Structure 1
């Protein structure tokens, strides 16, 4: 009995030191547990349209894709899963979009009206709060904005589905599903053919596209805009950089997409000018993280694939439902290049100086992401006979939790599906979270070595 008590005490001590004192590891473990929970729910016979159990790899893949708000699928979402299964997927998207730690903090706050330090650290890190004192306001913003936007999208789409003779309950379910999927940048569609049949239907594309755009900005931006929407000059540097980068990337990607696909008869070439322009802007919004597509990506040109590789890797705003390295990371890297080109010592924007520790973080996020993508693509190609362009597209889409695909996902062998599952998981929890989870301790050195500058370039 004494040995059991000692063992229990040892385990408790390990949990306290390894988990509670390392929010990153707790976040990793929590995400994994939730994915397994939804895998179990999707493995139930009631979850499929045929009433048969889904293969474990497909249930795991779908659960990971939902919780990681990605949108890649190995089976047709609208045909394979039952209404109950679609509800489980929508719930997984909602949980993944809010964030496991944020959701746990919301529940704890509702029950006890208090948040422990560990919960505050987890939620603040996941939602990118400016500080622990900002957390309560940020959590309130998370709830209000997410539910408001999802309900608004559903209300707009509901009458449209009624006009398509979907019936009341199916229209209600589909509109709610699209609202959740759009705001959380998940890219899941309950329609068997996705949004391709609605390529010229702006009643469908506009609310979904706006939902994706709003969802990709990030909760810190919402909070800042709500507090100071009348005073743009007082917006934080993060908000300004996010809005500028999102706008610039949307316009640039739309222009390049028009150049690449305007004359392609398999994508935009057979459409009217108005329809083509609408689809271009819809796709330019979804290229970075939304995952919806209004034309067949598999028939797009290779230049478009390369463009979308870059855009997916960049992703959306920090603290948002989008993935990628985030637009502010790119902004910091561009500001560093600009400062170096002009011979300036500091990175500056809007009258603010950006510290070198921010640049180190941006470089770390980018390089870790590139390393994961390169390793993932290498492994993926070794597991399949898929050429580099399609393999890279699929891996980047998974890591950036975007969900766009050239149409190869369903036919992949189990081991390749496992690689994409790992990519989605790593992409959702974040590069720096992985790095922090692997770091056993942090050392603060009192003694510093003398500096020396190596030759660069």
Structure 2
């Protein structure tokens, strides 16, 4: 038991389970709801899991169902979930680095050159300081805008600013406005702080800290940082162009906006779609061709060791480099002037394929358990839950108790799964003193 508990790879899922259990109990209390009644177990479990996994899906109207106590609990659970992810990822990286053997330790240390493996306390304090500073600044801007331009009472403006700042940096997605950000989709003072906070929280601390340290020398960045930063920029541009083209003339979303409004609303929605959870466009009124684009962006997600979900940007673009090398007949997979280890390629492929299998299985299960649901809607909901995004077509309340439990399980697996799986694979590296004869089976 002692060996089990001191292993962060095992502690991370246990810690999240404990936070979910505590949050479920607190949200079931009668003073957590506006009607002063006990919340059903399934609803409380769904909401607590959604908050701790920083997803943002809800089976009730967040703006009216919960009291101030309930909303504070959701805020605390989101903050605990977000910092827990960052802290857990930090500890796992350090443990993996120490247990890989000298050669692999040096490789990992080269990939995380910003961090001293002996100074965990300093690293964790920097992560907490980054989160606190970002949320304080976002709160000030949002509260000031709501108070000055929308005539919110100062106390209410401050509370709304704090709530959405925590949700933004932690990629949570819960909102006190019934339509999320749709009513503010043309207000840059509301949208842009949340977009910047979501991007900062979704990049991941290894990439973010290295960019800050060596922003003048991007060629010296580690491969993981290059894949995360340049990959994220690529997805931001490609997603923005695709979403703008698909929705430009849609009268139910941005068709009636002026060109500045169209650009801002589209940029906001595109920036937060990879696990941010807010929606600046009405997801029920999107064009049919928009849904596959959003599903793909949600599935990719954000950076490693971040508050974002998905298979991660670095995983996606690493696989793209693998495909490109194979198509060119190259013996090695290279990113810039670095050769990618075969073990990393296999780990990326394993995470991606297992994630695809879970999304497909979850979609089939949701269709079977819910009468009349369209396949694309089920796929959208399952992808949103597994990637801890929080966007929804319609309402998750339509799926009944079996559907709620399925989405709850997917949120939990999607939150701790890639981190735990990737670390377990890395720690399970073994050396064999013999090799079998090689064969080359027909592929394709």
What residue is the counterpart of 2:52 in the other structure? 67
State yes or no: 1:451 paired with 2:438. Answer: yes
Instruction: Give the direction of change, closer, same or farther, for the CA distance of 1:101–1:34 in structure 2 (3 Å limit).
Output: farther
CA distance in 1, matches of 2:380, 2:255: 23
What residue is the counterpart of 2:73 in the other structure? 88
- The structure 2 residue matched to 1:298, chosen from 284, 288, 293, is 284
CA contact (8 A) 1:102 1:122 kept: no
Instruction: Give the direction of change, closer, same or farther, for the CA distance of 1:248–1:196 in structure 2 (3 Å limit).
Output: same
CA RMSD of aligned residues (A): 2.6
CA distance in 1, matches of 2:75, 2:406: 24
What residue is the counterpart of 1:33 in the other structure? 18
Deviates more, 1:129-138 or 1:316-325: 129-138
C-alpha deviation, 1:232, in angstroms: 2.5
Gaps of 5+ in 1: 1-14, 106-116
C-alpha deviation, 1:444, in angstroms: 4.4
- The structure 1 residue matched to 2:191, chosen from 177, 197, 205, is 205
- The structure 2 residue matched to 1:353, chosen from 323, 327, 339, is 339
**1:132-171 CA distances to partner (integer Å, 9 max, x unpaired)?**
3464443233112111111111111111121323212211
Instruction: Give the direction of change, closer, same or farther, for the CA distance of 1:441–1:283 in structure 2 (3 Å limit).
Output: closer
What residue is the counterpart of 1:11 in the other structure? none
CA distance in 2, matches of 1:184, 1:311: 18
What residue is the counterpart of 2:95 in the other structure? 121
What residue is the counterpart of 2:353 in the other structure? 367
Deviates more, 1:378-387 or 1:439-448: 439-448
Gaps of 5+ in 2: 100-110
C-alpha deviation, 1:98, in angstroms: 0.8
Instruction: Give the direction of change, closer, same or farther, for the CA distance of 1:148–1:227 in structure 2 (3 Å limit).
Output: same
Question: How many pairs are equivalent?
Answer: 429
**1:176-233 CA distances to partner (integer Å, 9 max, x unpaired)?**
1111100111111112332111122121111111111111111001221232233333
What residue is the counterpart of 1:138 in the other structure? 123
C-alpha deviation, 1:94, in angstroms: 0.6
Alignment of 1:286-435 (within 5 A): 286-385=272-371, 386-431=373-418, 433-434=420-421
Deviates more, 1:130-139 or 1:227-236: 130-139
- The structure 2 residue matched to 1:192, chosen from 166, 170, 178, is 178
**1:394-435 CA distances to partner (integer Å, 9 max, x unpaired)?**
000000000010123122201100000000000000236258
TM-score by length of 2: 0.90
CA distance in 1, matches of 2:132, 2:276: 18
C-alpha deviation, 1:447, in angstroms: 2.7
- Give the secondary-structure state (helix, strand or coil) at the position aligned to 1:182: helix
Instruction: Give the direction of change, closer, same or farther, for the CA distance of 1:286–1:444 in structure 2 (3 Å limit).
Output: same
Instruction: Give the direction of change, closer, same or farther, for the CA distance of 1:337–1:119 in structure 2 (3 Å limit).
Output: closer
**1:46-96 CA distances to partner (integer Å, 9 max, x unpaired)?**
211222221111111111000000011101111111111111111111111
Instruction: Give the direction of change, closer, same or farther, for the CA distance of 1:441–1:330 in structure 2 (3 Å limit).
Output: closer
Instruction: Give the direction of change, closer, same or farther, for the CA distance of 1:320–1:103 in structure 2 (3 Å limit).
Output: closer
- Give the secondary-structure state (helix, strand or coil) at the position aligned to 1:216: helix
Instruction: Give the direction of change, closer, same or farther, for the CA distance of 1:124–1:312 in structure 2 (3 Å limit).
Output: farther
What residue is the counterpart of 1:227 in the other structure? 213
C-alpha deviation, 1:129, in angstroms: 5.9
Runs of at least 4 residues off by over 4 Å: 117-120, 122-125, 128-131, 434-444
- Give the secondary-structure state (helix, strand or coil) at the position aligned to 2:309: coil
